Amino acid sequence: MTSPAETDRPAPTPPAPAAPVVGFDLDMTLVDSSEGIAATLRATLAEAGVHVGAADVWPYAGMPLELIVAGLAPGTSPERVEQLAARYRELYPSLGVPGVRAYPGAAAALAAPAAHGGRSVVVSAKHTPNVHRVLASAGLDGAVRPEDVAGDLFAERKGERLAEAGATAYVGDHPGDVRAARVAGAVAVGVTTGAHDAAALREAGADVVLDGLDAFPAWLASHAAALAAASADGGEGGAPAPR
């Protein structure tokens, strides 16, 4: 029979992970998808009589589709926004996917955690089937397991998925990605390949800001060493972020 003192004890904290599990955002982090997104939005909104250019779309990079549509077509009813978002998702495979290109260093960044005994996961706001299409089109699908790809998530909801995956770091271009890392208890790594510069990402709380993914493997080596040291010391939670 368990005594009251025993039931009041807090659950033991799991040990620090010894190997890195790194989450990556997709759009404007792993791939430059700006042209395809803009083309699909222009076509979608034109069907509703709304005409936008690429410059109108850029400030919304990294946000959930429904928020982008609502922002570009102010005054549109929520029901119509949902309809336009569904139409966008129909058009994206033909209008958006072909123009996607991987950023320099993207393939090496996705492969880097495995060299330290870990793995990569991709967690995106993009519709999940289109995440898989984009990764395949950009030649990046071989670096991440299909079950480690998740879409239709933003900010804190990304963080919940990252926590489930045991992520030790999350790499993204948007302040919402920083929030996701915080929810997951992971190191927030910002990249300046999207619409937000280093100052904006640091203000959002990023632990590390990189100019691009070419710099990621070197940073990861420090992160992996810190994780291994914390695990060997019997530390609790994640390791401090190498800055």
DSSP per-residue string spanning 157-183: HHHHHHHHHT-SEEEESSHHHHHHHHH
- Nearest Cα neighbor of 223 from 111, 118, 143 is 118
According to DSSP, the residues that pair with 23 across neighbouring strands are 121, 170
At 241 the pLDDT is: 45
According to DSSP, the residues that pair with 208 across neighbouring strands are 189
> Residues 66-94: what's their mean pLDDT?
96
Band (pLDDT 50/70/90 cuts) for residue 40 is very high
**pLDDT tens across 116-141, in order?**
999 999 999 999 999 999 999 999 99
Classify burial at 48, counting beta carbons within 10 Å of its beta carbon; exposed 0-12, middle 13-18, buried 19 or more.
middle
Query: Residue 13: pLDDT above 70?
Result: no
At 192 the pLDDT is: 97
At 1 the pLDDT is: 47
Which segments of 72-221 are extended strands (E)?
Answer: 101-102, 119-123, 149-150, 169-172, 187-191, 208-210
Band (pLDDT 50/70/90 cuts) for residue 8 is low
At 15 the pLDDT is: 52
**pLDDT tens across 91-117, in order?**
999 999 999 999 999 999 999 999 999
Band (pLDDT 50/70/90 cuts) for residue 63 is confident
At 18 the pLDDT is: 81
Which segments of the chain are extended strands (E)?
Answer: 21-24, 31-32, 101-102, 119-123, 149-150, 169-172, 187-191, 208-210
Query: Residue 46: pLDDT above 80?
Result: yes
* Strand-pair category, 119-123 with 101-102: unpaired
Mean predicted lDDT score pLDDT of the chain: 91
Residue 211 to residue 45: CA distance in whole angstroms: 33
> Residues 60-88: what's their mean pLDDT?
94
The single residue listed with the structure tokens 């070419």 is 214
> Residues 155-181: what's their mean pLDDT?
98
Band (pLDDT 50/70/90 cuts) for residue 235 is low
Residue 105 to residue 164: CA distance in whole angstroms: 26
The single residue listed with the structure tokens 């706001």 is 125
Classify burial at 123, counting beta carbons within 10 Å of its beta carbon; exposed 0-12, middle 13-18, buried 19 or more.
buried
> pTM of the entire structure?
0.88
At 191 the pLDDT is: 98
Query: Residue 12: pLDDT above 70?
Result: no
> Residues 213-240: what's their mean pLDDT?
83
Classify burial at 118, counting beta carbons within 10 Å of its beta carbon; exposed 0-12, middle 13-18, buried 19 or more.
buried
